[in-house]
Amino acid sequence: MPLRSTLSIAALIALAPQLAGAQAAIPQSPAPVAAHAGADAPTAADLALRALYEREWAWRQQEFAQEKIDGRWQASSRLPSVAAEDWERRVAYWTQVLAELDAIDVAQLSPGERVNAAVFRAMVEADHASTEWRTWEAPFNSDSFFWGYFNPSQPYAREGEWERLLGRLRDVPTYFDQQIANMERGLDRGWSVPRASIEGRDRTLEPYTRTDAGNPFLVTFDAIPASVPEPRRSQLREEGRRLVLERLVPAYTKLLAFLREDYLPRTRTTIAASDLPDGRAFYRSQVREYVTRDMDPREIHAVGLAEVERISAEMREVMARAGFEGSFEEFLQFLRTDPRFYARTPRELLASAAYVAKKVDGQLKHAFNTLPRYRFTIIPVPDDIAPIYTSGRGGLDACLFNTYDLPSRPLYNLPALVVHECAPGHSFQAALALEAPARPDFRQQTYFSGYGEGWGLYTEWLGTSMGIYETPYEDFGRLTFEMWRAARLVIDTGLHEYGWSREQAIDYLASHTALARHDVETEVDRYISWPGQALSYYLGYRTLRELRAEAERELGTRFDQRPFHDMVLALGSVPLPVLEAEVRAFIAAQKAALAP
């Protein structure tokens, strides 16, 4: 999963996690269109559409406290207001935007603007639906927290970045108060995060209530680099320390008390999305948002069961190749307990990840024609969130790997994790998006989980032809990850459509993968508290694999994976129906160009 947000890449990751994943559905059968507009003069419909999405984007940046700095939209010196009246105003605005979009004749749009229209509609429909469902009244889940992400993972290099950080931190007390009021409103109508999925998450606040060197904010301000010259560096450090002690520590302390004494005791004890007010309709809206097409949850459940059975057979073949003579269950136990498969120190795990990433570098030229200039680094997951964080997460600037509880971090899973999160997965993908040909600003920062996570899982499979998996155990780790995503189709729908218990979901995932028990429980809690999101990975991956197979059939020996991959990534993040239409247009163009 990439480090990203949709409403605004930087600041809004600190908003409600359901708004951090603003993907939505579009009409099921869009006509094939080109990724970029041609040289023809824009039509009247083109001009109307551009005016609409440019106006909405400018409004959005103001609304969610973003500003353009050095050509990139970044967090400004304030936090967005998240009071109930703000969300009510936003849903009214998006209602009007959708009405104006409906009035534009899609048939009169040029090919490039037709893609823009589809992406814009998907983005706005998701934001509108999420806000209308008032998901902001439950503004965190087991994986992402509105009180997190304020503290930068790496020190800023420039004075202006530190000054903007100080501005945002001054707004934290008001921001927390608004979130508390929102959560109280949610509790009053029976809308909350399931209690079973968030046990212990309150502990992530504890370090920020400290007044000594254990407070991560104090560590951050003590680490202002020499690139900020004196005396300003010392001034910023002292200003930051004073702000932390006088405003942030009390704000985090107040929020922690609210969560422990009021919120957590009153959260719902049920776990299914269908148990929320009008919950079955809500779950279907979540499926539509993350899958970017209409699919019945029971259809998805059946797909998952079939894929789990297929991957199980492959896993047993790899087990035999490894020379293991016991049962499948005994093989899983062997993988979970043999010391050879586990790093002894955090540095050893990070070094192993770096080795895989560098090995990938040597293979990229065989899979892509276009490579990004922007580079990522590898760092550990911060200590305050590591106990409840995923094994790894990648974004534009960094790939994070979890070094907490090393006996639950098997090295045989690491190659698949690196290609998914770093390159040619999310970090690679994000860098290419940054350097992509000019497209509307909203296209640069919109993220559709089916496209993005589907690509990440596709790269795990691509690693088999890049020589990334050196042993049967590493190949089994890759299959464990593929099984993990296929099992999500069964588990997510099992929990929210069929009424599975938490224990039933944990047992299912543990019995089908070599994931450590810690990871299994963390994952299931995420599916419980973030319905629908887990469906996007495998369905996006399946779409990409099917499109590649179609291209190979149509082009035969003339198929070259490099332009195929370049085309998919140059398109940028789009709903799956748009991806299908664009790839088929690419195949047709390739056939025409290669025709004798």
Tens place of pLDDT for every residue, the chain, 596 residues? 544 333 432 333 334 333 333 333 333 333 344 444 445 799 999 999 999 999 999 999 999 999 998 888 899 999 999 999 999 999 999 999 999 999 999 999 999 999 999 999 999 999 999 999 999 999 999 888 899 889 998 899 999 999 999 999 999 999 999 999 999 999 999 999 999 888 888 999 999 999 999 999 999 999 999 999 999 999 999 999 999 999 999 999 999 999 999 999 999 999 999 999 999 999 999 999 999 999 999 999 999 999 999 999 999 999 999 999 999 999 999 999 999 999 999 999 999 999 999 999 999 999 999 999 999 999 999 888 888 788 899 999 999 999 999 999 999 999 999 999 999 999 999 999 888 888 898 998 888 999 999 999 999 999 999 999 999 999 999 999 999 999 999 999 999 999 999 999 999 999 998 888 888 998 999 999 999 999 999 999 999 999 999 999 999 999 999 999 999 999 999 999 999 999 999 999 999 988 77
Q: Does one domain contain both 397 and 528?
A: yes
Give the pLDDT of residue 437.
80
For residue 211, is it within any domain?
A: yes
CA dihedral 248, 253, 259, 262 (to 10 degrees): -130
Q: Does one domain contain both 319 and 231?
A: no
Q: Which of 237, 266, 295 is the last residue of a domain?
A: 266
Q: What angle do CA 144, 417, 551 make, to 5 degrees?
A: 105
- Separation between Cα atoms, residue 510 and residue 521, nearest integer Å: 9
Q: Does one domain contain both 257 and 326?
A: no
Q: Which of 493, 512, 540 is the last residue of a domain?
A: 540
* DSSP label at residue 399: E
> Which SS3 state, helix, strand or coil, does residue 73 take?
strand
Task: Say if residues 66 and 442 touch (Cβ distance below 8 Å).
Answer: no
Q: Does one domain contain both 414 and 487?
A: yes
Q: Does one domain contain both 233 and 324?
A: no
Residue type, 304: G
Domain count, the chain: 2
338: number of Cβ within 10 Å: 11
- Separation between Cα atoms, residue 121 and residue 310, nearest integer Å: 36
For residue 258, is it within any domain?
A: yes
* CA-wise closest residue to 150 among 361, 363, 332, 384: 384
For residue 122, is it within any domain?
A: no
Q: Does one domain contain both 423 and 526?
A: yes
For residue 126, is it within any domain?
A: no
- Separation between Cα atoms, residue 532 and residue 413, nearest integer Å: 25
For residue 233, is it within any domain?
A: yes
531: number of Cβ within 10 Å: 30
- Separation between Cα atoms, residue 362 and residue 26, nearest integer Å: 38
Question: Six-digit token pair at 15?
Answer: 């908003």
Peptide bond connecting 440 to the previous residue in cis, omega within 30 degrees of 0: no
* CA-wise closest residue to 562 among 356, 357, 364: 364
* CA-wise closest residue to 368 among 432, 315, 319, 289: 432
533 CB-near residues (< 8 Å, 6+ apart): 21, 286, 290, 449, 526, 527
Give percent helix, percent strand, percent coil of the chain, each to the nearest 5. Answer: 65, 5, 35
* CA-wise closest residue to 122 among 573, 545, 439: 573
- How many Å is the maximal CA-CA distance in the chain? 75
Instruction: Give me the residue label for tokens 């004196």.
Output: 230
Q: Does one domain contain both 219 and 327?
A: no
Give the pLDDT of residue 381.
93
**N-term to C-term CA, the chain:** 43
- Conformation bin of residue 57: beta by default, left when phi > 0, alpha when psi is -120 to 50: alpha
Q: Does one domain contain both 378 and 524?
A: yes
Give the pLDDT of residue 125.
96
Residue type, 516: A
Q: Does one domain contain both 499 and 386?
A: yes
For residue 554, is it within any domain?
A: no
For residue 382, is it within any domain?
A: yes
Q: Which of 266, 292, 320 is the last residue of a domain?
A: 266
Q: Does one domain contain both 398 and 464?
A: yes
- Separation between Cα atoms, residue 172 and residue 193, nearest integer Å: 22
Q: Does one domain contain both 377 and 506?
A: yes
For residue 416, is it within any domain?
A: yes
**Which residue range(s) make up the domain with 182?**
158-192+199-266
Question: Six-digit token pair at 131?
Answer: 């806000």
* DSSP label at residue 429: H
Residue 401: which H helix or E strand, with range? Answer: strand 398-401
Give the pLDDT of residue 29.
36
Instruction: Give me the residue label for tokens 């085309």.
Output: 567
Q: Does one domain contain both 248 and 345?
A: no
Task: Say if residues 241 and 221 touch (Cβ distance below 8 Å).
Answer: yes
* DSSP label at residue 410: B
CA dihedral 79, 84, 90, 95 (to 10 degrees): 160
Cα dihedral 580, 581, 582, 583 sign: positive
340: number of Cβ within 10 Å: 8
